[in-house]
Amino acid sequence: MKSYDYEAVVYDNEVYCVECLPEGIDCNSEDVTPIFAGDEWDSAPSCSVCGTLHDYMSIIKEDDDPSYCEYCDNEICEGKGCKRGEYLFCSKDCADNYDAQW
Ligand SMILES: [Zn+2]
Ligand SMILES: [Zn+2]
């Protein structure tokens, strides 16, 4: 797929497959913005009519390396958690429990 190719468009703040556009609206209509393969999206949009997921464009992964608590394995939201030494814990309790193991 070339960066200027597209299979989906944005119309009226909704995402549509080209073929799912409302009657009378096509890719050349005003208010229709193609989603080009070279465009960058935070997440793959899906068609508001048929639900097809369009992930042909560049999807920017916000945080592809989530942190997990060293003790309970819970996922830790960015900026949250309790760092102790080189380990990260979801809470001070987990850090204490982890220490208590040794
Ligand atoms: Zn569709
Ligand atoms: Zn934890």
Bridge partners of residue 101, in order along the sequence? none
**Which ligand gives the minimal distance to the CA of 51?**
1
pLDDT in tens, 76-100: 987 788 899 889 999 999 999 999 9
How far, in Å, from the CA of 8 to the mean position of ligand 1? 8
36 and 78 belong to one structural domain: no
Share of residues in the chain with pLDDT > 70 (%): 96
Residue numbers of the domain that contains 39: 6-59
> How far does the centroid of ligand 2 lie from the alpha carbon of residue 85, in Å?
15
Which of the 8 DSSP states describes residue 60?
Answer: P
> What pLDDT, on a 0 to 100 scale, did the predictor assign at position 62?
64
CA distance 66 to 6: 31
pTM given for the model: 0.61
Residue 17 binned pLDDT confidence (cut-offs 50, 70, 90):
very high
Q: Which residues surround ligand 1, an ion (CB under 5 A)?
A: 17, 20, 47, 49-50, 52
Of 46, 40, 43, residue with least CA distance to 58: 40
Does residue 31 sit within a domain?
yes
Residues 19 and 49 in one domain: yes
Q: What is the mean pLDDT of the chain?
A: 92
DSSP one-letter code for 15 = E
Residue 10 shares a structural domain with residue 33: yes
